[in-house]
Amino acid sequence: MADQRPMVCFAEPLGSSDHRAVSVLGFEDFDPLPMHSIEAVIHAVSTTPGLFGVMPIENSTEGELTLSIDRLIFESEMAYIIGEAVLGEPIWAFSTAEEGEIRDVVSHAMILDLSASFIQQHGLRTHHAVSTAAACQRVVGGQFPGMVALAPPTVGYSFGLVPIETEVMKVPEIRTRYALIGKEVPEPSGDDRTMLVVAPRTDAVGALEEIAGLFAANGVNMYSIVSRPLALLPEFHCFVIGAEGHVYEEPVLKLVRALVEAGHGVKLIGSFPRWRRSEVVNPSLTLPKGMINLTDLAR
């Protein structure tokens, strides 16, 4: 009997960026399973043997998507991040014809925000769509003559639309980091990352310093940290920490033991091969305005 194709679920319609991310995560031949929410994706992966899920966890405009990661932290015990990949796509303006007056524009809300200069320049009325594929579908439907869709080239061309402008955003492309989730943590690859949730034993002065000190003492490098207040105990926080290394190997394994022995709560979100290509970056091409540096302090 031939091996069955893997089934991969995601919380967007067919043709969406979440759907396109599946192939970037290494699946060339798979059965797509669109679902209505990230919560549904995580629940399905947690309860269905052999099922994989894809979810966005960071993008170049909003940074780490804490709502998505919270679902893994607070609503799942059996789903882990087992892979990561960054999907980078330019955005073009697509129409049904090469020429003609444009009056309206439709796209995902984030893309409309990044294309504010293009929209203002042409005096366009904006319309929101749940995805770029849905935006292209509205243009094809012809409800508003002179409407253009802002979408990645692969999406616009798939609907038979014509590109009329290839520079509509203030950044070259939108980059989104996607996590592949499954029920079993993969073996170390030799170049891995681990995500942990650490709940301090007490929310007192120096708690974060102590946790950071244990990372340093065990030679584990943090690459990200996000504080999440707890609704059950508003005065307490937990920390979502991304670290270099694999949880099955030292020094991360030794670090986890040290955190638990010190009385801190620890939850593994995932250990996975590190993505080695284009990274998610802040779209600004300058340093933060008003930043103070050593030269300023010397004046």
pLDDT tens column, 235-251:
778 899 999 999 999 99
Q: From CA 155, how far away is CA 294, in angstroms rounded? A: 47
CATH 3.30.70.260 occupies which residues in the chain? 187-283
CATH superfamily of 187-283: ACT domain (3.30.70.260)
Q: Which fold does the domain 1-87+174-184 belong to in CATH? A: D-Maltodextrin-Binding Protein; domain 2 (3.40.190)
Retrieve residue 202's tokens.
């007490």
Which residue in this structure is represented by tokens 């929310």?
A: 203
* Average pLDDT score, the chain: 90
Confidence (pLDDT) at 13: 81
- Mean pLDDT across 47-55: 95
Produce one character per residue of 136-159: b if its CB has 16 or more CB atoms within 10 Å, e if not: bbbbeeeeeebbbbbbbeebbeeb
**CB within 8 Å of 279: residues ≥ 6 apart:** 86, 175
pLDDT, tens only, 186-216: 999 999 999 999 999 876 778 889 999 999 9
The CATH number, out of the four listed (1.20.58.190, 3.30.9.30, 3.40.190.10, 3.30.360.10), of the domain defined by the range 91-171: 3.40.190.10
Confidence (pLDDT) at 1: 38
* pLDDT above 90: percentage of residues in the chain: 68
Confidence (pLDDT) at 84: 97
Nearest alpha-carbon partner for 72 in 193, 195, 192: 195
Look at 14-23, 149-158, 209-218 and tell me which has the smallest mean pLDDT: 14-23
- Enter the pTM of the model: 0.86
Residue 171 pLDDT exceeds 80: yes
